[in-house]
Amino acid sequence: MAKLSYHYPLSIRIWHAINALCILLLILTGISMYYVDPDRILIEFSWAVKIHNVTGVILSFSYLFFLIANAVSKNRKYYKMPLKGLMNRLVKQSGYYAFGMFKGEKKPFPLTEERKFNPLQKLFYVLAMYVGVPLVIISGLGLLFPESVIKALFGVSGILITDVLHVAMGFFISLFLVIHIYVSTIGHTKSANFIAIISGYGWIEETENETKSEE
Of positions 55, 196, 203, 215, contacts ligand HEM by CB under 6 A: 196
**CB nearer ligand HEM, residue 158 or residue 187:** 187
Contacts of 171 (CB under 8 A, 6+ apart): none
Q: Please count the residues of this chain forming the interface with ligand HEM, following the rule CB under 6 A.
A: 25
**CB nearer ligand HEM, residue 77 or residue 106:** 77
Contact 143, 163 (CB under 8 A): yes
25 binds ligand HEM (CB under 6 A): no
**Window 31 to 70, contacts with ligand HEM (CB under 6 A):** none
5 binds ligand HEM (CB under 6 A): no
Q: What is the CA radius of gyration of the chain?
A: 20
23 binds ligand HEM (CB under 6 A): yes
Interface positions with ligand HEM (CB under 6 A): 8, 12, 16, 19-20, 23-24, 75, 78, 116-117, 121, 125, 128-129, 133, 173, 177, 180-181, 184, 193-194, 196-197
